[in-house]
Amino acid sequence: VQLLESGGGLVQAGGSLRLSCAASVSTFSINTMGWYRQAPGKQLELVAAITSRGGSTNYANSVKGRFTISRDNAKNTMYLQMDSLKPKDTAVYYCNAHHWGVNYWGQGTLVTVSS
């Protein structure tokens, strides 16, 4: 499974970005997909996760109410809509897919939020 993220960039605090993660296989077959992030000098943390049919989502407390995870299985793509961005959201964001017991990762996309 190959995952390709896009949509990162530089945005001012309070702004929005939408990240995309395109998968090389049918996302309908992937049980759980998610977004993780790693800020400079910090550990990797789960931002949000979603089940294969989008029926269940999970968010880190720090992003609840600001970020929305979704997936379009017809396009084999997962999204992360990020609103009301804060400087502390600055990090490299990684797409993750848990497929047949194996974790797959994208290369990451940098999100920088300026104050």
**In this predicted structure, what is the pLDDT of residue 55?**
74
Q: What is the mean pLDDT of the chain?
A: 95
Identify the band that residue 93 occupies on the pLDDT scale cut at 50, 70 and 90: very high
CA dihedral 74, 64, 110, 98 (to 10 degrees): -50
Residue percentage of the chain with pLDDT more than 90: 86
For the purposes of burial, counting CB atoms within 10 Å of the CB of 11, is it exposed (0-12), middle (13-18) or buried (19 or more)? middle
